[in-house]
Chain A
Amino acid sequence: MSTTPGTLLTPRQVADRRAHAPHTSMFTRMLLRAAVLRRRRAASALLAMIVAAAVATAMMNLYVDVQAKLRTEFRNYGANVVIVAKDGQSLPADALAKVESVLGAKTLAVPFSYAVARTKDGQSVVVVGTDFARARQLNHWWKVSHWPDAPDEALVGMRAAAVLSPKIGPNRQPFELTFQGKAIQLAPAGMLQTGAGEDSRIYLDQSEFQNWTGVAPSTIEVAASGTAAEVEASIRQLAQLLPTADIRPVRQIMEGEANVLNKTRATLYASATLVVLTSALCVLATLIGWVFDRRRDFAIMKALGASERLINGFFAAEAAALGVVGAILGFFIGIGVAAWIGRVNFHAPVVPRFSVFPYILAGSVAVALISAILPIELLRRVQPAIILRGE
């Protein structure tokens, strides 16, 4: 009983210690000794616990975060909300500023203005004024040989380029366009290829375009981030702010996104459930072995007169301790795994979610308790003598 052999204690001192150290001390000592003496078995049980908790943590973190990550990927599809002036008019001059003030800095809003100009040989061509820096961010899929950097430079759509045949590149030549009698000289900076309507157009810097045609932006394309509900809310807000404009979601983009996201989420959910269940099974298998293995301890305790409640409590406490330690270690490992997956697959870190920790903890302890109680129930029916005899 003495923890410091070699020092002699008077009977009174011993009695004192016993008085101050009630059953709990013996209880914790038994718990600790069990772990230390059977290091190997305890370690394997703990390892199973840690792996299960880590896998569960990683899955939960991913499940929450992947949707946000995929949404960012989907924003590469471009605008999901379009603001159009009603009846072919222009938007108010402060429309862009208003949009940005409502949606915040993270949202991308790009103004577009349109006019039909004529080339030297009388061909009609659509000329668009825009903000190149923003358009470039919004429309990742635009394949552009060289973005314009001076105000009098233009981006020429592939098919427009084939018709106008201006020399694009180092030895380029300016070409002329006229709009309502006003002519302008433009230098082709680069070629634009999208496979859609943009290929037939010529893009100019907005201020240059407005100086020339006097046409103000009539369309703002917005890439609103967030869930479908958040985007809906943004649309309602914008509608209040800009009563003269039509604000509509780009259904093609919104529905496609919702579709793919829902399917991915459901698959992820199914897989995560399977993985978590499998790791729970792993814990179950290990812990059942661990408790069965200690049936001798169980029998000795019983033979020495321990009550059933005490024994149950003891094994439950052991399992719970295993569950708690496993959950804590596994949680941090799991966060590491989730972050690694985020980096490898999405090239962006997965933000650790500490809010899942209570679930992991509760789940680990519950699985550990279930796995401990099951074999005890089986052992309880056996006479301690039989176990001690080694049969």
Chain B
Amino acid sequence: MFPRIVYESFRRQARRKLLAGIAITLGVAVATAMIAVATDIGDKINRELRSYGANLVVTPQEDTLDVEVGGVNLKPPSDGAFLNEADLPKIRGTFWHHNIVGFSPMLPVTVKVGDGNNKDAKDVTLVGTYFNKALRFGKEDFTTGVKITNPWWKVEGKCGDGAEPVRSGAEGPRPGRVEDSPSACGWPDDNSQDILVGERLAAKLAKKPGDTIEIAGRQLTISGILSTGGAEDDQIVAPLALAQQILGKPGAIRRVYVSALTKPPDALSVRDPKTMTPEVYDRWYCSPYVESIAYQLQEVIPHSHAEQIRQVAQNEGTVLSRIKGLMLLITLAALFASALAVSAAMATAIYERRVEVGLMKALGAGNLAVSAIFFAEALLLALVGGVAGFSAGALLARQIGRSIFNSQISIEPVLFPIIMTIAVFVTFAGSAAAIRRAVKFDPVFALRGEG
């Protein structure tokens, strides 16, 4: 009898059930999408914050002072210590290598730029770096360089021009981290002898892309004009290998900028690892704090000193926690609103069926039996609406992720039971008051139609 009543109720009142079901579906969909977005927003914003540039710098342990004013390096070129380029791929071997978005080595060299033969040579800083270099660590191929770590660098160059040497495709596969959009024109190849000239320097020298320039006795082609809004506007940026040749120190790099996804600092992050107990140390080591990533970088690169760039590292923690906090509060608001919507729909659906209750009670059904029927119906609705809502919410979250962040927002499978539990709970809670009122209602009045 019991299943039949429930079944008939769904069959005969399909429209009303549909209304309540839609409310549950929409409510669950919104809740799922919001939870998915809120749990993923930290990672997404963290990646966006990487557009501020590197948050870690690795320098040689025993280094002399930088003597640099306004982007011009006044230090004798061979002075000071260097890191070894061969150690760089090991950065991918650190514990948190998945969190390392990219890194760029830097080797500044002071060169004389002689414009033809008639003008006096001028001191200019030439920085050797990776643009989008293909590297290999173990079995893993990856690319890294300033295109990833310094996304605000803009290069203007000629596209598909004959003056530009043919890009060699012989450097192995390039996992497409940086798509070759039209704005990528003008970037020199990491294995070429082409250079970028800062926009102010180019204006001073009256050079444009495609021109050649004489540096340290070499004729180099300018593949593009670089605009950064920083010191690089007065500098020349060249492939690392070229800078090493000019300096005469193969394999040497002065410092490495590392861009890593980190966790906002907290009480644990600022503690000195030397004073920690082994247990705390493990927890610290296995958390992606900027301090612990710096520590791990020092471990893999010999004779190095890794330091957070406080301007970037410290601020991103605050921005990140603010945005995460905001999304959490909004998610709570969304959960509240959808719970309310589901309750309202359930209450309405049940309130309309007082006559039925009156009839059942007149035929001798107890309060418990009547409530059980309603709760069973609510449970069915909640399960069906919950599954539909969960799928709709997953699609919605994916759409939000794709349109806003250009990347997937993945739904954790563990979310499914949680969402279903919430859906059932909210549906029950929303029905409970209405069911109690319907059951308490005198069957005589209900049957006479006096509601």
A195 pairs with B34, CB closer than 8 A: no
A285 pairs with B348, CB closer than 8 A: yes
Which of A74, A199, A278 counts the most chain B CB atoms within 10 A?
A278
B228 pairs with A252, CB closer than 8 A: yes
Which positions 49-78 of chain B face chain A at CB distance < 8 Å? 49, 51-53, 56-57, 63-70, 74-75
Chain A interface mostly: helix
In whole angstroms, what is the CA distance A199 to B57 when docked? 12
Q: With contacts A70-B319, A259-B48, A266-B404 known, is A84 near B70, CB below 8 A?
A: yes
The yes or no answer to B280 lying at the interface (CB within 8 A) is no
Q: With contacts A160-B65, A278-B27 known, is A263 near B405, CB below 8 A?
A: yes
Shortest A160–chain B CB gap in Å is: 6
A88 pairs with B70, CB closer than 8 A: yes
The yes or no answer to A77 lying at the interface (CB within 8 A) is yes
In whole angstroms, what is the CA distance A277 to B323 when docked? 22
B334 pairs with A274, CB closer than 8 A: yes
Q: Using CB atoms, name the residue of chain B closest to A115.
A: B69
Shortest B450–chain A CB gap in Å is: 8
A275 pairs with B30, CB closer than 8 A: yes
- B334: which A residues are within 8 A, CB to CB? 271, 274-275, 278
In whole angstroms, what is the CA distance A194 to B322 when docked? 23
Say which residue of A125, A126, A259, A278 sits within 8 Å of B341 (CB atoms): A278
In whole angstroms, what is the CA distance A219 to B319 when docked? 28
The yes or no answer to B159 lying at the interface (CB within 8 A) is no
Q: With contacts A124-B75, A125-B67, A274-B334 known, is A279 near B341, CB below 8 A?
A: yes
B27 pairs with A281, CB closer than 8 A: yes
B99-107, B207-215, B302-310: which lies at the interface: B302-310
Say which residue of A69, A74, A77, A285 sits within 8 Å of B344 (CB atoms): A285
In whole angstroms, what is the CA distance A305 to B329 when docked? 52
The yes or no answer to A310 lying at the interface (CB within 8 A) is no
Binary interface encoding of chain A residues 209-221 relative to chain B, with 1 for a CB under 8 A from any of its CBs, else 0: 0000000001100
The yes or no answer to A55 lying at the interface (CB within 8 A) is yes
The yes or no answer to A183 lying at the interface (CB within 8 A) is no
B329 pairs with A341, CB closer than 8 A: yes
A277 pairs with B333, CB closer than 8 A: no
The yes or no answer to B337 lying at the interface (CB within 8 A) is yes
- A70: which B residues are within 8 A, CB to CB? 319, 322-323
B352 pairs with A292, CB closer than 8 A: yes
- A289: which B residues are within 8 A, CB to CB? 344, 347-348, 351-352
Q: Using CB atoms, name the residue of chain B closest to A277.
A: B30
- B34: which A residues are within 8 A, CB to CB? 271, 274-275
In whole angstroms, what is the CA distance A123 to B449 when docked? 100
A252 pairs with B53, CB closer than 8 A: yes
The yes or no answer to A250 lying at the interface (CB within 8 A) is yes
In whole angstroms, what is the CA distance A123 to B200 when docked? 31
Q: With contacts A289-B351, A292-B352 known, is A193 near B310, CB below 8 A?
A: yes
Q: Using CB atoms, name the residue of chain A closest to B405.
A: A263
Shortest A278–chain B CB gap in Å is: 4
B451 pairs with A124, CB closer than 8 A: no
Say which residue of A76, A116, A196, A248 sits within 8 Å of B74 (CB atoms): A116
Which of B70, B311, B329, B451 counts the most chain A CB atoms within 10 A?
B311
The yes or no answer to A255 lying at the interface (CB within 8 A) is yes
Size class of the B contact interface (CB-based, 8 Å): 35 or more
B404 pairs with A270, CB closer than 8 A: yes
The yes or no answer to A155 lying at the interface (CB within 8 A) is no
The yes or no answer to A143 lying at the interface (CB within 8 A) is yes
- A234: which B residues are within 8 A, CB to CB? none
The yes or no answer to A256 lying at the interface (CB within 8 A) is yes
Shortest A202–chain B CB gap in Å is: 10
The yes or no answer to B325 lying at the interface (CB within 8 A) is yes
The yes or no answer to A133 lying at the interface (CB within 8 A) is no
The yes or no answer to B360 lying at the interface (CB within 8 A) is no
A390 pairs with B344, CB closer than 8 A: no
B37-45, B238-246, B414-422: which lies at the interface: B37-45
B325 pairs with A76, CB closer than 8 A: no
- B56: which A residues are within 8 A, CB to CB? 195
Which of B19, B27, B66 counts the most chain A CB atoms within 10 A?
B66
Which positions 188-245 of chain A face chain B at CB distance < 8 Å? 193-197, 199-200, 218-219
Which of A126, A193, A251 counts the most chain B CB atoms within 10 A?
A251
Shortest B8–chain A CB gap in Å is: 18
The yes or no answer to A370 lying at the interface (CB within 8 A) is no
A293 pairs with B451, CB closer than 8 A: yes
The yes or no answer to A163 lying at the interface (CB within 8 A) is yes
B348 pairs with A286, CB closer than 8 A: yes
B347 pairs with A48, CB closer than 8 A: no
The yes or no answer to A59 lying at the interface (CB within 8 A) is yes
Which positions 402-451 of chain B face chain A at CB distance < 8 Å? 403-405, 448-449, 451
Q: Using CB atoms, name the residue of chain B closest to A341.
A: B329
The yes or no answer to A142 lying at the interface (CB within 8 A) is yes
- B63: which A residues are within 8 A, CB to CB? 159
- B327: which A residues are within 8 A, CB to CB? 267, 271
The yes or no answer to B252 lying at the interface (CB within 8 A) is no
B319 pairs with A263, CB closer than 8 A: no
Which positions 337-389 of chain A face chain B at CB distance < 8 Å? 337, 341, 344-346, 389
The yes or no answer to A46 lying at the interface (CB within 8 A) is no
The yes or no answer to A148 lying at the interface (CB within 8 A) is no
- B26: which A residues are within 8 A, CB to CB? 277-278, 281
The yes or no answer to B345 lying at the interface (CB within 8 A) is yes
B326 pairs with A268, CB closer than 8 A: yes
A159 pairs with B322, CB closer than 8 A: no
In whole angstroms, what is the CA distance A218 to B72 when docked? 14
A345 pairs with B152, CB closer than 8 A: no
A76 pairs with B230, CB closer than 8 A: no
A200 pairs with B309, CB closer than 8 A: no
Which positions 346-383 of chain B face chain A at CB distance < 8 Å? 347-348, 351-352, 355
Which of B23, B34, B330, B396 counts the most chain A CB atoms within 10 A?
B330
Q: With contacts A77-B52, A255-B51, A390-B449 known, is A200 near B66, CB below 8 A?
A: yes
A271 pairs with B330, CB closer than 8 A: yes
B344 pairs with A260, CB closer than 8 A: no
In whole angstroms, what is the CA distance A209 to B66 when docked? 20
The yes or no answer to B151 lying at the interface (CB within 8 A) is yes
The yes or no answer to B313 lying at the interface (CB within 8 A) is yes
Q: Using CB atoms, name the residue of chain B closest to A259.
A: B51
In whole angstroms, what is the CA distance A143 to B63 when docked? 21
The yes or no answer to A168 lying at the interface (CB within 8 A) is no
Shortest B222–chain A CB gap in Å is: 21
B319 pairs with A74, CB closer than 8 A: yes
In whole angstroms, what is the CA distance A248 to B233 when docked? 11
Q: Using CB atoms, name the residue of chain B closest to A255.
A: B152
B329 pairs with A344, CB closer than 8 A: yes
Q: With contacts A58-B333, A263-B44, A263-B45 known, is A250 near B230, CB below 8 A?
A: yes
A-B contact pairs, 7 of them (CB 8 A): A125-B65, A196-B309, A197-B68, A248-B229, A251-B227, A256-B152, A278-B341
Enumerate the 8 nearest inter-chain pairs by beta-carbon distance, A residue then B residue, closest first: A390-B449, A289-B348, A251-B229, A282-B341, A256-B52, A285-B345, A141-B310, A200-B66
Q: Which residues in B have some Cβ–Cβ distance to A below 8 Å? A: 19, 23, 26-27, 30, 33-34, 37, 41, 44-45, 48-49, 51-53, 56-57, 63-70, 74-75, 150-152, 154, 200, 227-230, 233, 307-315, 318-319, 322-323, 325-327, 329-331, 333-334, 336-338, 340-341, 344-345, 347-348, 351-352, 355, 396, 400, 403-405, 448-449, 451
